[in-house]
Amino acid sequence: MELKRVVVTGLGALTPIGNSVEEYWKNLIGGVSGAAPITRFDTTHFKTKFACEVKDFDPADHFDRKEARKHDLFSKYAMVTSEEAIKDSGLNLEKIDLDRAGVIWGSGIGGIITFQQEVTGFLQGNGVPRFNPFFIPKMIADIASGNISIRHGFRGPNFSTVSACASSSHSMIDAFNYIRLGKADVMISGGSEAAVIETGMGGFNAMHALSTRNDSPETASRPFDKERDGFVLGEGSGAIILEEYEHAVNRGANIYAEIVGGGLSADAHHITAPHPEGLGAINVMRTAMNDHSDLDISEIDYINVHGTSTPLGDIAETKAIKTVFGEHAYQLNISSTKSMTGHLLGAAGAIEGIATILAVKNNIVPPTINHFTDDPELDPNLNFTFNTAQEREVNAALSNTFGFGGHNASVVFRKFKG
């Protein structure tokens, strides 16, 4: 069968460096760090006392008090960004076939705030089972996709992807496939996460996964720097409207970019560590680019890398890029926007996908900030876009996300050419 073309027609973002797409992009290009001391709880006894929190977000601006009580923060983030993306897309929901409009949403953890609050309340109540009736619906990871579809009346495919930090990239790839196979016209894809809470911070600290640079939070996320010491936990949400090409053109939609490929792979190596030679990353990038018959490797100008700022992960991904691209690797711009946003876990792929789409649209590559010292284990001839955004023609770009369990996803965006 002939596959349909799929384009991006709407974006929504709620991030540690901006509560809208416009603000997020401005601060990405400006190299702004979203890391700061945690405001949500007392960090006295925690190894890491900072994170990339969403700032100046008031649920009362979006939900009445009764509705707000029904939703965990990760689900609120999801609904707010989906609202922005739909508005940005110009979709008239009264004129599209809602049976062919769906939602696929990613979250690695789901309602961890709700889970912590309810279990804590149970223990403080001496074991008396007085649970909130919304406990389970607020906590489950798939509820965000359900809430988005209820809010907008989308009756097409609806489910959640859970693959740790690759979750929202998997949601985009699944949405892309449903449309190009002719099973939907419009899909809301993306992801949300809200894990900046005691259990989230404590759990990652116990794994020694987080930076402990408490004296300088704003410089703690430093991908590809010799002194990197772990990632910075972030939170937020990104929503991306994917649409069948003819459907978008017929309604005169603004098109940001075309999505032309999606790759999936597994490391089959370790529950948290990457394969040391980046085998899963090699496979997923190759699969993504081979997903489109007329995409040449030389068209790729930029890679928004997973780049978490962990000692092992940054080295493995760099090795994979050199293996896949060969000499062309030295013509690429590479950057990790986690240096600014921190690591949004299951929402990382969504907000980094938005950064990649806007790089393709605007011919600007956002930087990898906080570079101070070269790492001799990394190739100094690669262009990591250190510290300052760079203007260049971006015809096509990859967005990489890798998750605990060895889950890998890579998405290819190309400049829309009609």
pLDDT in tens, 73-112: 999 999 999 999 999 999 999 999 999 999 999 999 999 9
Catalytic residues: 165, 306, 343
Q: For residue 300, what is the domain's CATH number?
A: 3.40.47.10
Residue 110 counted as domain residue: yes
pLDDT given at position 322: 97
Residue 170 counted as domain residue: yes
Residue 1 counted as domain residue: no
Residue 219 DSSP class? G
Domain count, the chain: 1
Which H/E stretch holds residue 152? helix 143-152
DSSP string over 305-350: ----S-HHHHHHHHHHHHHHHGGGGGG-EEE-THHHH-B-GGGHHH
Query: Which range marks the domain in which residue 59 is found?
Result: 7-414
Which H/E stretch holds residue 411? strand 407-414
CB 102 within 8 A of CB 187: yes
Residue 62: both structure tokens together: 């979006």
Asked if the model's pLDDT at residue 1 lies above 80, the reply is no
Which H/E stretch holds residue 65? helix 65-68
Residue 2 counted as domain residue: no
The pTM of the full predicted model, rounded to 2 decimals, is 0.97
The model's confidence at residue 403, banded by pLDDT at 50, 70 and 90, is very high
Residue 231 DSSP class? B
CB 269 within 8 A of CB 313: no
The model's confidence at residue 126, banded by pLDDT at 50, 70 and 90, is confident
Task: Report helix, strand or coil for 59.
Answer: helix
Residue 408 counted as domain residue: yes
pLDDT given at position 227: 97
Asked if the model's pLDDT at residue 399 lies above 80, the reply is yes
Residue 14 counted as domain residue: yes
The model's confidence at residue 418, banded by pLDDT at 50, 70 and 90, is confident
User: Which amino acid, residue 186?
Assistant: V
* Residues 207-231 pLDDT 10s: 999 999 999 999 999 999 999 999 9
Residue 129 counted as domain residue: yes
Residue 243 counted as domain residue: yes
CB 281 within 8 A of CB 320: yes
User: Which amino acid, residue 256?
Assistant: Y
